[in-house]
Amino acid sequence: MIKIVLPFPPSVNGLWRTTSTGGMYRSPKYTAWRKTAIMQAKIQARGKQILEPYKLTLEVVRPDKRKRDLDNTLKAVSDCLVSVGIIDDSQCEHIEAKWVQSENPCTVTIERIKNETGTLLGSAGTTLV
């Protein structure tokens, strides 16, 4: 299991901007969040990876009283973990997200998944590094 605390993630609606010619680029807000989040994820994961089937759990604290879509926080977090090399998002088998009251703005837990018999899913030889 890997547990990482990140800053509150930007909404998927604010990740990308479009140029007048139709090109896309990361928004300044997303770029700033991503830089900080990647640095924190690298430090906290300490080189660990889960590259077999996994469950991703997000516990997110509401930053204010505005209405927000919880599922819009998932994309930035998942992309951050992929860019650091902690996960391969094609291996995600289960996602759970919930609003919580905590001192941490966003707590991410990545756990290897076991099948009904308790055996880890994935091919032989895949391990938590």
The pTM of the full predicted model, rounded to 2 decimals, is 0.84
In order, the DSSP letters of the chain are: -EEEEEPPPPPGGGSEEE-TTS-EEE-HHHHHHHHHHHHHHHHHHTT--B-SSEEEEEEEE-SSSS---GGGGHHHHHHHHHHHTSB-GGGEEEEEEEEE--SSSEEEEEEE-B-TTSPBPS-TT----
Q: What is the pLDDT of residue 114?
A: 78
Q: What is the pLDDT of residue 2?
A: 97
How confident is the prediction for the chain on average, in pLDDT? 90
Residue 67 tokens read as 């209405």
CATH fourth-level superfamily of 2-112: Holliday junction resolvase RusA (3.30.1330.70)
57 pLDDT band (50/70/90 cuts)?
A: very high
Q: What is the pLDDT of residue 124?
A: 46
Rounded (5°) CA angle 16-35-90: 65
